[in-house]
Chains A and B, each alone.
Chain A
Amino acid sequence: MQVVDILSPLRVAVSRNGADPVRTKQDVLKRLSDLLSRGEPSLDAGAIERMLLRREEQQSTGVGGGVAIPHAAIEELDHIVGAVLLCPDPVGFDAIDGLPVSIFFAVIGPRRAVGEHLKTLARVSRLLRDDHFRKSLVEAPNGPAAFDLIAREEGRPP
């Protein structure tokens, strides 16, 4: 499994703080929930948002280095779905290193898929561990361009 397998160009977005700004944790989770529900008609964005928020209330998923991996188990799902929101203006997210977050990689999946969930977290971490890649990703002009960057990065030999 690769990270691109759980994404789609439709579920990758760059936030430009124009008409619909993303400035708070709530804004981020709402936008991610909207992205996650795209192409998944069985999913209700409001329900996803509540589950993501509940998880953040337990402990922030801000893993440091300007990255957060919001995630939740969703009963209706039978597969893992991912979405990416890039915020060139980083958002405070109570991350472990205290730094604001510019790369949000959300993951939802079935409750029972413990092993798959861990593999997904490992793949996302492998993708985002490189400083230069993170910088270029945040500079992507739009969602489809960011999706292409991710696909290209994953295609490189380690």
Chain B
Amino acid sequence: MTTGAGRAGADGQVAEGTFQIINERGLHARAATKLVQLAGRFPCEVVIASPEAEGVNAKSVMGVLLLCGAKGTIVTVQARGERAQSCVDAIGELIANKFGEPE
């Protein structure tokens, strides 16, 4: 897992992180909903990419479901705007914590 250093661009903060989905059931509906609810607490724009889908809105459940994030999938999270780095870190932590699911 890597987290790109936050850098200040002309339009504010930009942050990026690459994470592997490690929970057994992957980005199923409840996990996707948790991710969307978490992203929604941050004011920045957040997009996620996987091998199945590019640049989906992390604040949309239908968007996150498009990633088809089975266990083992690598996803890249990009945030732009206020608290971008905190947002990427929080999403990385949620993924690493297996979305808080018992397995």
**A residues whose Cβ falls under 8 Å from a Cβ of B:** 58-59, 61, 63-65, 67, 69, 71, 96, 114-115, 117-119, 121-122, 124-126, 128-129
B94 to chain A minimum Cβ distance, whole angstroms, is 15
Contact partner, A69, options B25, B29, B66, Cβ 8 Å: B29
Q: Are B29 and A121 in contact (CB-based, < 8 A)?
A: yes
**B residues whose Cβ falls under 8 Å from a Cβ of A:** 24-30, 33, 36-37, 52-53, 60-63, 65-71
Residues of A near B67 (CB, < 8 A) are 122
Residues of A near B36 (CB, < 8 A) are 96
What is the total of A-B residue contacts with beta carbons within 8 Å?
A: 60
A96 to B39, CA, bound (A): 13
A81 to B30, CA, bound (A): 20
A2 to chain B minimum Cβ distance, whole angstroms, is 14
Q: Known interface pairs A59-B33, A118-B70, A122-B65. Does A64 touch B60 (Cβ–Cβ under 8 Å)?
A: yes
Residue of A nearest to B62 (CB): A125
**Chain A interface main SS type:** helix
Q: Are B70 and A114 in contact (CB-based, < 8 A)?
A: yes
Q: Known interface pairs A58-B30, A63-B29. Does A118 touch B68 (Cβ–Cβ under 8 Å)?
A: yes
Q: Are A125 and B37 in contact (CB-based, < 8 A)?
A: no
**Known pairs A59-B33, A71-B29, A121-B68. 4 more at Cβ < 8 A?**
A63-B60, A121-B28, A129-B63, A129-B66
